[in-house]
């Protein structure tokens, strides 16, 4: 049985005990994780109880073919509901699906999967069986994001200007977890009764023009050299060479600061990015992570010198500033650490 949209939301809020299992799949890993946690919390308030929650991943299933059947046959030692959580990186095999369908297990099976084709053994079996629930989790539409935003505003007794809402809807939506996080960042800065303006939203969610130049800078430092010229000539319509060099220099300084913080605190790059104040726009996180894994502080210091020299050259040869700046960005992207 398939539950979509409001049906799925209603079920997550009040899951049934009269089913054998729930399959969550789709593009939006953030929404899958959110719904999985909500379901586990409903069935098992104390999810750290090893007797009530058993978590199995794809590697364990492949290494031990009998593991799934053993877990399905295990009974809880108390009257509490027992949950088996399958955290999959690949689809189940047909024989594993058959094992689940035929087991009539007393435990609740929750399957956290990624994108599954319509030919998936799991989807085909669970969608046609009344004892199982299938919940597709796809990227949020503009309507979904607006509904989420309005609900959160209502809960906090806040209002927001329409153009501010439109900016949020246009900027978010690829991942439910990130969408929720970004909305929370904005709302957390206000108190009950406040009205939130577009300018306040823009302080966290960057404007479209800044997105363009940010894409260029990220492309340079991800070493995507072949894409630089195309992006550069798009950006040059809105930013002059001097501005682009300044923005690039500021970015290099930011990377050096993040790497220094990582070394000082001895924490992973991902955590450094997530802890940054003011927060970095979440859609840039994967790119920043690649950049921190690519560059070191010594090479970044050399890049500061290259940018400084280029700035001087463009001032001396203003007619060639566009070409000199492009050449500088290409040179940076081609550097070896």
> Are 87 and 173 in the same domain?
no
Mean pLDDT of 109-123: 89
Indicate which CATH number applies to the domain containing 253: 1.20.272.10
Q: What is the mean pLDDT of residues 104-130?
A: 89
Q: Which residues of 265-292 are buried (b: 16+ CB within 10 A; e: fewer)?
A: eeeebeebbeeeeeebbbbbbebbebbb
Does residue 26 sit in the same domain as residue 127? yes
pLDDT of residue 330: 96
Q: Are residues 221 and 269 in the same domain?
A: yes
Is the domain of 129 the same as that of 159? no
Same domain? 186 vs 283: no
Rounded to an integer, the average pLDDT of 18-24 is 91
Q: Is 153 found in the same domain as 251?
A: no
Strand partners, 54: 84
Residues 177 and 267 in one domain: no
Confidence band for 140, pLDDT divided at 50, 70 and 90: confident
Q: Which two tokens stand for residue 186?
A: 């904005």
State what percent of residues in the chain have pLDDT above 90. 40
pTM above 0.85, yes or no: no
Per-residue model confidence (pLDDT) at position 81? 77
CATH number of the domain within which 185 lies? 1.10.8
pLDDT at position 75: 77
* 174 has a pLDDT exceeding 70: no
pLDDT at 192: 92
- Average pLDDT value for residue range 203-231: 82
Which residue among 174, 202, 230 closes a domain?
202
Total domains in the chain come to 3
To the nearest whole number, what is the mean pLDDT of the chain? 87
Q: What is the span of the domain harbouring residue 298? A: 208-334
The residue out of 187, 202, 217 marking a domain boundary is 202
Residue 9 sits in the same domain as residue 132? yes
Q: pLDDT by residue (tens digit) across 250-306?
A: 899 999 999 999 999 899 988 888 888 766 777 788 999 999 999 999 999 999 999
Q: List, for residues 27-70, the tens digit of each pLDDT value.
A: 888 889 889 999 998 888 776 666 788 888 888 988 998 898 98
Same domain, 75 and 156: no
| 1: pLDDT strictly greater than 90 | no
Same structural domain, 284 and 224: yes
Higher pLDDT, 92 or 207: 92
CATH for 96: 3.40.50.300
Tell me the mean pLDDT in the region 191-197: 92
Same domain, 219 and 170: no
Strand partners, 111: 23, 86
Q: Among 2-11, 148-157, 184-193, 208-217, which range has the highest average pLDDT?
A: 148-157
| Confidence bin at 207 (pLDDT 50/70/90) | very low
Final residue before a domain boundary, out of 202, 220, 250: 202
Say whether pLDDT at 315 is over 50.
yes
The residue with greater pLDDT, 189 or 223, is: 223
* pLDDT value at residue 278: 64
Better pLDDT: 159 or 210: 159
pLDDT at position 187 is: 92
pLDDT digits (tens, 9 = 90+) for 82-91: 899 998 888 8
- Do residues 245 and 269 share a domain? yes
Residue 222 has pLDDT above 90, yes or no: yes
């Amino acid at each position: 049985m398939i539950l979509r949209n409001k049906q799925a939301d209603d079920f997550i809020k009040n899951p049934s005990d009269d089913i054998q299992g729930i399959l969550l799949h789709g593009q939006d890993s953030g929404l899958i994780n959110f719904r999985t946690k909500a379901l586990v919390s409903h069935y098992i308030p104390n999810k750290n109880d090893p007797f009530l929650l058993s978590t199995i991943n794809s590697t364990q299933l492949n290494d031990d073919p009998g593991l799934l059947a053993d877990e399905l046959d295990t009974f809880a030692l108390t009257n509490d509901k027992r949950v088996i959580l399958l955290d999959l990186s690949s689809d189940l095999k047909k024989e594993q699906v058959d094992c689940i369908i035929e087991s009539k297990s007393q435990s609740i099976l929750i399957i956290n999967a990624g994108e599954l084709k319509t030919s998936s053994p799991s989807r085909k079996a669970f969608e046609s069986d009344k004892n199982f629930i299938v919940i597709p989790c796809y990227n949020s539409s503009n309507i979904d994001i607006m509904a989420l935003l309005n609900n959160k505003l209502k809960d906090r007794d806040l209002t927001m200007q329409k153009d501010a809402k439109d900016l949020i809807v246009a900027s978010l939506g690829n991942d439910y977890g990130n969408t929720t996080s970004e909305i929370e960042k904005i709302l957390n800065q206000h108190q009950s009764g406040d009205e939130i303006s577009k300018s306040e939203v823009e302080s966290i969610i960057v404007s479209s023009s800044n997105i363009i130049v940010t894409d260029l800078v990220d492309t340079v430092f991800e070493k995507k050299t072949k894409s630089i010229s195309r992006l550069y000539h798009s950006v040059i319509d809105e930013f002059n060479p001097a501005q682009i060099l300044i923005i690039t220099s500021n970015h290099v300084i930011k990377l050096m600061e993040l790497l220094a913080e990582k070394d000082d605190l001895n924490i992973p790059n991902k955590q450094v990015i997530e802890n940054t104040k003011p927060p970095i726009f979440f859609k840039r996180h994967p790119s920043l992570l690649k950049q921190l894994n690519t560059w070191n502080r010594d090479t970044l210091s050399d890049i500061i010198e290259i940018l400084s020299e280029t700035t001087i050259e463009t001032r001396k040869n203003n007619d060639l500033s566009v070409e000199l700046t492009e050449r500088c960005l290409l040179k940076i992207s081609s550097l070896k650490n």
